[in-house]
């Protein structure tokens, strides 16, 4: 069915009005309406035969065929909106178990098929807003030019103001006497936009801000759709209290009864050693940990340093062992000809002792996962002041590790009466096992909406959104049935 949008809309409305009187009844109409609105979930109505179904529903002679085909189409839609249009395997770094089929509501419970999370509902609302912007023609591209700032009077200011008004960064109630004047209201709008996109908050429209403003609305809609798809891959029950790490945002949050009770900046993996998406349960907290250097870091990072500087180990409080077994003997760096060591057959184990220079800092938080990923403190506090914080080899470093550990222990029986500072002040390594393990989810989601409706976007630093976008786009671009 190919017709002008206005005529197509009237035809669909006619179909909806007549459906209740057919054998499909009210339930059939509700299912068909859900298929029509599939785009509001980042899905493609064409995948569910909407055009063909409308033709069948409009003809009384094909009502039976309509009912059968609607049933099949809605089964596909229900599975897609509940568990994901794509397999999570499209992202090889996503290792979170999808919701099992028996966790999905019955297909006649249409309103509860999508993920039940507030974050998903906010993304859904944001996608509708951005689709409305697209329907109105999108936004005008800001042409190349000099940095714009308060006090300047140029025509591009009017373009920027209108652009920011569309995404609610500019307060539409403000009146400006001169549309070409960069005033205080526009300065505030630019700062709001920059904060939502993790840009340097300066109030100036520089090259980076101009580029972000000029990202087409279609690209932002796709980014929101990818975020919704990733939420469909998550468990429908995350737990009453859990830890949430978004590698795309480089933040950690503790969520309790739906509220964020602790939030802090984090450092995540570099793009060459990205932090994977996974889930687990935090079970163990270690004070003054040692650090056994993983083989990848030992061969790629530590060995080149030792070839240049054999005293590196002693200066940074490392012990060196001749192997990985319990019977491995301790040796000194001077005993080894580092230039002759084959990195593909490195026989040595490096263990950094507790102390202020230990790479894990003073606290390590361990949880079960097969990728040797954990959360820890760091002596490199200055890195938390950067907007892009991808400096680790995959583990998650915390700006306030002690506060995080205290939050975990505050509600755990094994934390009662524990003097954490006393444990930190001791020179030796000490550990505590939680009596009530805390679920943790490490995700990679480049768009989200805060409780106050602010839509945030981040760059796809790991390139993990690209294959998801391609797969969703291939379905969207398929010719209608």
Specify whether 270 is catalytic. Answer: no
Residue 409's Cβ-count burial label (10 Å; 0-12, 13-18, 19+) is middle
d(CA 3, CA 386): 51
Catalytic residue among 41, 124, 197, 376: 376
Determine whether 376 is an active site residue. yes
Active-site residue, from 41, 197, 395, 456: 395
Residue 45, exposed/middle/buried by CB under 10 A (0-12, 13-18, 19+)? buried
Just list the catalytic residues. 376, 395
């Amino acid at each position: 069915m190919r017709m002008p949008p206005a005529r197509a809309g009237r035809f669909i409305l006619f179909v909806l009005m007549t459906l209740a009187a057919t054998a499909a009844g009210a339930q059939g109409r509700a299912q068909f309406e859900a298929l029509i609105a599939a785009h509001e979930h980042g899905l493609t109505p064409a995948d569910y035969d909407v055009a063909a179904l409308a033709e069948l529903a409009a003809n009384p002679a094909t009502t039976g065929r309509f009912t059968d085909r609607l049933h099949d189409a809605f089964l596909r839609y229900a599975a897609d909106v509940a568990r994901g249009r794509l397999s999570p395997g499209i992202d090889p770094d996503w290792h979170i178990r999808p919701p099992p089929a028996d966790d999905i509501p019955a297909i006649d419970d249409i309103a509860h098929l999508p993920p039940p999370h507030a974050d998903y509902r906010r993304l859904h609302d944001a996608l509708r807003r951005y689709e409305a912007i697209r329907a109105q023609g999108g936004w005008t591209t800001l042409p190349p030019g000099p940095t714009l700032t308060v006090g300047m009077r140029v025509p591009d200011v009017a373009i920027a103001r209108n652009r920011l008004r569309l995404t609610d960064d500019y307060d539409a109630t403000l009146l400006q006497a001169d549309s070409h004047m960069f005033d205080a209201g526009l300065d505030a709008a630019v700062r709001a936009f920059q904060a939502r996109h993790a840009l340097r908050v300066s109030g100036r429209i520089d090259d980076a801000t101009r580029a972000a403003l000029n990202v087409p609305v279609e690209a932002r809609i796709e980014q929101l759709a990818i975020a919704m798809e990733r939420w469909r891959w998550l468990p429908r029950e995350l737990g009453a209290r859990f830890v949430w790490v978004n590698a795309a945002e480089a933040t950690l949050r503790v969520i309790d009864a739906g509220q964020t009770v602790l939030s802090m900046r984090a450092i995540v993996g570099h793009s060459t050693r990205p932090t994977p998406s996974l889930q687990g349960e935090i079970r163990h907290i270690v004070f003054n940990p040692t650090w056994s250097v993983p083989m990848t870091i030992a061969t790629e990072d530590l060995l080149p340093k030792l070839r240049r500087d054999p005293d590196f180990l002693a200066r940074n409080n490392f012990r060196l062992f001749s192997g990985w077994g319990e019977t491995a003997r301790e040796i000194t760096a001077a005993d080894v000809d580092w230039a002759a060591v084959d990195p593909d057959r490195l026989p040595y184990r490096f263990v950094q002792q507790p102390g202020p220079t230990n790479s894990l800092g003073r606290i390590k938080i361990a949880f079960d996962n097969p990728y040797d990923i954990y959360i820890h403190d760091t002596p490199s506090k200055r890195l938390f002041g950067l907007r892009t914080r991808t400096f680790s080899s995959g583990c998650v470093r915390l700006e306030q590790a002690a506060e995080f550990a205290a939050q975990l222990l505050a509600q755990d029986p094994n934390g009662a009466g524990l003097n954490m500072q006393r444990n930190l002040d001791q020179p030796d390594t000490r550990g505590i096992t939680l009596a009530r393990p805390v679920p943790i989810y490490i995700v990679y989601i480049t768009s989200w909406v805060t409780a106050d409706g602010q839509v945030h976007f981040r760059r796809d630093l790991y390139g993990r959104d690209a294959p998801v976008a391609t797969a969703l786009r291939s379905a969207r671009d398929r010719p209608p049935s």
